[in-house]
Amino acid sequence: MNKIVKSDAEWEKELTPEEFEVARKKGTERAFTGRYWNNHEPGIYRCACCGSDLFRSDEKYDSGTGWPSFWAPATPENVETEIDRSLWMERTEVLCSKCDAHLGHLFDDGPNPTNLRYCINSASLRFDPKEEK
């Protein structure tokens, strides 16, 4: 996969201020404030920066945390993780494989079948509704 590499100035021109702060500067939106935490429509969640398919509504569930939560990525190779040691703790950060956008964090307290919770910021996502046939 070819990585998308852009300067902060280029990303700032393409993203909203909130998207830039979260996806490019590793920020976090407040719980229960993001546009997708309570979205129940069928469709696919794509990276707000590069458009890669990240998560599907089929794997989304209500974790009670106030952020969109998924038990698996739509396309595993489009999502990668790395250790995040910020805020005096160790967590697993979730990133877009194509553009390195910060998506959120991964926890091991999710539902079956994976027992994983991809806790993702709405500001890092763009939702593409599934068209009715």
Dihedral sign for Cα atoms in the order 62, 63, 67, 71: negative
Q: Is 119 a catalytic residue?
A: yes
Q: Which is the catalytic residue, given 47, 50, 96, 119? A: 119
Q: Which amino acid is at 68?
A: P
Decide: helix, strand or coil at residue 79.
Answer: strand
Kindly tell me the number of DSSP H helices and DSSP E strands found in the chain.
Answer: 2, 9
Which active-site residues does the annotation give?
Answer: 119
